[in-house]
Structure 1
Amino acid sequence: MKLKNYLVICIAFWASLSFAQQGLQKKADNLFNKFSFVKASEAYRELINKNFNTDYATRQLADCYAYLRNPDSAVVYYKKVITQQNIPVAYYYKYAQSLRGVKNYKASREWMRKFKTLGGVINEKQLSKDANFITSIFNAKQHYFLKDVNFNSKLSDFGAFEHDSKIYFTSTANKGVSIKHLYGWNNQPFLDIYATDKGSDTIIHHKAKVKGDINSTYHDGPLTLSKDGKTMYFCRNNYNKNIGLKKDNKGVSNLKIYKSTLVDDKWINVEELSFNSDDYSVGHPALNNDGTKLYFASDMPGGMGGSDIYYIDLFENGSFGTPVNLGPIVNTDKNELFPFVNSEDVLFFSSDGHLGLGLLDIFGTVSDRENNIVSILNLGIPVNSNKDDFSFFMNNDGLSGYISSNRDDGLGDDDIYAYNRILQLIIEGVVSNSKTNKPINKALVSILDSNKKEIAILESDSTGYYQLNIDRDTDYIIDTKKEGYEDRTLQVTSKNIDDNVYSITADIILNPIANKIKEPEPTIKLDPIYFDYNKYNIRGDSSIELDKIAHLMKNKYPNMVIKIESHTDSRGPASYNLKLSAQRAKSTYEYLISKGIDATRIESHKGYGEEQLINNCDGTIKCTNQQHQLNRRTQFMIIKMK
């Protein structure tokens, strides 16, 4: 095999690794934003081991350990962070707080002084409790930013839940009809459930109420929806249209949870859940990601006081398990309400019993490797205020959602606010030919800091595009190389970039070198083979491709040596996928051996699990079966030809 062909194959192999690392960083950030800190920490450690954007991954990993209430590990990684160039001053504060977590108060005070000297502001109240160091670290910077929505009324609106670009919410607006019933507590109409298209400018009125049998004479809402959007669980007063409003022996009409199904755009078949009671409230339903657990708030006997958060198992036959109290990490002797579970099965809730900023505050939970809740985080300002803040909802992107609050300056009583998180800043651009303006594929783009320390090496894709997460307020150098073109160096800065700007563009134009751009010599291409979901046997179409490879190796290239690399899609546990890919590699290896290929001509056969996806189907977006199929593959690398 000619040396140039060998180099082409090696570069292609390296490029697949670079693409996988970019995908891994995106996956890690997505997990981090969703509070899935254990999984995120594993991904960031892998990036560090692969020396890809190491400084950034180290900072994120330190934060993961802090939020996991592991100050011993947090101190180790924050100590590495503070040696980095041009780091945000907040990391001195985080390091100081983690030192408090390991009770090294002297060193903590020294770093806190350095933080203050560099312009940091210290809130003495945040330093009052050593056990609260993770909340102090989390709130070292503002994570969320709020904006008004256009469907609030002058009365009470809360409980926004987004599904398929439609926003469901609970409101007393009831505009456009004569109001027959008023709630005696606040002289407002009773609550109903509404829906509006996301981004719609339509003023909400009675026609926006969901159609069907959900809205009754009394309170209805808030709600949660199944993943397919066809089942709704919602709150309602203990009311039956045949019996009327039922009250307990104290004269209180308790909340109950009901279930309804969507048929022809109408919510019908309303049924009361079996674990409700006339004697206490069961409300504020929230489903976990796969719909096997229903979380709720209740003041049922045997709790820790006030209203507690519980969950109950949902079985396929429609029956329910026994309510499980989430225990003292979540629940207090006061009120815990409005649970919400995101796509990574992380629980959020409101409480007036935990240390907070006002009345009800919104908290997130942090879980260990066994999914046991080990701590909680106050989401801080501006999610929380000195008033009631509740009904947290997070979209699948982990970056946007809704809260509800009766804080000052709202339109009405309770109001809904949309939130977004500041995205990690990305640098992106297109590498193109200065003569033809056409994109350049597989150009090597090196990102360096101002001290010329390499952060990452990327490769432009077929459209010439490249992308990488970078820090704000930092100077960078971009070196770009491509055979047949002059090298190009750019100076780029992310300083003075507004927080609502999420990307900066650095297009790279390369000058071709005259008479040196040649068509690449032909190379041997060994096509991949594919596997069925959760299978490792060789399919009929795959055996045809393997027979072709065996024919080439025996008859045309008798000295060819290859490597076998097998992969899975992202569905299923990572450990299981690693084992499944190894089985796929083995079955491929054994098939070629059975066709007369000497074992010494297969240098290795190895499985990589879901580590090297060739598309964005990493579990964060919805993908088709065909898209997942592309990842269930075995690839062949040519190591030697002659």
Structure 2
Amino acid sequence: MKTLSRYILLTVVFVTSSVVYAQEGKIRSVKDDYREFAYVKTSEVLLEVANKGYRSADLFQKLGNSYYFQNKMEDAAKWYGELITMNEVIDPEYYFRYALALKGIENYEESDKWMTKFNKLKPQDSRGKAFLSKVDYKSDIEELSRNDIEIVNLEINTELSDFGTTEYENGIVFASARGGGRKYRWNEQPYLDIYSVEKTDEGSFSEVNEIQGKVNTKYHESSAVFSPNGQYMFFTRNNYFRMKYKEDESGINRLQLYRATLSEDGSWDEIHKIHFNSEDYSVAHPALNLTGSRLYFASDMPGTYGQSDIFVVDVNDDGTLGEPENLGAGINTEGQESFPFVNTSGDLFFSSNGYPGLGGFDVFKSEGLDQKVQAGSNRNFPIENIGKPVNSAFDDFGYYENLVTRRVYFSSNREGGKGSDDIYTFEVPECEQLVEGTVQDKKTDELIPNATVVLFDGEGNEIERTTVGADATFEFNLDCEKEYLIRGEKETYASDEKRFTTPDRKQELQLQLLLEKDEVIVEPCSDLAKLLDIPIIYFDFDKFNIRYDAEVELQKVLAVLNKYPSMTIDVRSHTDCRATMVYNERLSENRAQSTRQYLIDNGIDAARITAKGYGESRLVNDCGCEPTNESSCSEEEHQLNRRSEFIVTSFKGQKCPEQN
């Protein structure tokens, strides 16, 4: 294909290659559970600890998650913010959640800051890439490509150039070099004219004819577009008007825009030049918005960012035009942008070689651009490559779509065509979206029957809810190209949710909602360390004083003991096998007593707490060191034995039968 600079700068903006351009879970009855046992809501325990001024990364992570999954973004942002200030190494996922929580309270500037941080830490994560500029553009294009579309080379194409389609009445209008006559020396094809063809009832096309009237001349005509009332047609032609052919000082005949009026006999006459045409630059490829109030076009007039830019101009009621305005750097690049088209939703499509693409000219989309232009926006026009099959390694341009019939036309000089440029078409398949999934326990993977699954739109408005059956499955039928949030809920569990945006094509999305127990059963013989997810109570090496990080964890035990005054516990401290048995017994005993004393010092009656150190006598694995005082176990395996237990010895009048 000849480059677009040839088209715009050498009057051949028309042809692209030539002239212009589960298990089934056994769940206890909640009612029965409350009769038989007591429950501790871990989120309440965490909040009580945090409100006392205790700080730890684990504490803030769990608090933030608790509110995040309840969609309480103000509280989530608060505790994630506290987590961030810890200046510890944390999972980048928390930067992402913090950013979303901030966005949920409309703190967009701060949200952007942490999304950027997330992207730096996880550069391959699509969420970060979607926020920042497209880096891995090929992957992005592949994600936007369609494999459910089969394009068809129109039967009316010839071995010459055919391109630039628009629908008109019961057919299409396009440009073609099929007319014969004098040839354009650049490609040895006849000059372009504008043609029309009607569709038959069977969906094929009838005979192709030149458009009636005074539009076609012995030079190039192309890119016709019609006003909504059908009275005006704008089109592109060489600088040839009233039998006068004009060139600039360099001897180049530029492209210009013209307007024709529909006569009573159906022909297009009364040809008028657009007032901002010039002999010194080209103006070409008009496109009208839905109401006909704005016309978009391509030009290399002064003030362009590159070799050709997309401009917009207001259209008056009489078909005359106002003063053109460049769409700016939000659309235009230092490369070439041309062939604009605006669909009835106000989305701008255009061809460009200034953005990363598949090769040659690719078609790009800027959603809702026309509405933004009308509102006088700041020219922030996000764009995306529309992907395959429209785009290819060749030149792809002249995009047109009918959102009602879902019919699309575009032009390309790709391999396998009939001529240098051909018109292709396809019908966009009906967009069917189905999301289905299961609700499961996060730790055990067991199914959770009778859970509630709620579907929300992107703004948090509830759309639909369902209660899952014994198989714990759910499904929803969704719309295309919309944001949704699905949340799983169940009493005694913390909620889980998934947020996603449906694509513009058929999809079946599989989800797992993983709920984590938020209320735990407390009964005699329970280990509060396990129920409250308390890790190892760390002491400094060879010491038994309570460190700050251990104090944070002990506050959880303290909260439970304060809530249930009848509860008594036995504090048990254990070591691994390394060092001598006598030493380990003494050290663990000191640590157990130190832990007990901490709870007493914080208001717990001494009669409610016993404590004992067991040294290495109760290993939980085979990591013993006797008799050689050596072990082949890893540090992680040894660590499992260095644990603290908080065994409930009596509760609500019942005693634990276990003997120490």
TM-score range, shorter chain: 0.3 to 0.5
Q: TM-score, normalised by structure 2?
A: 0.46
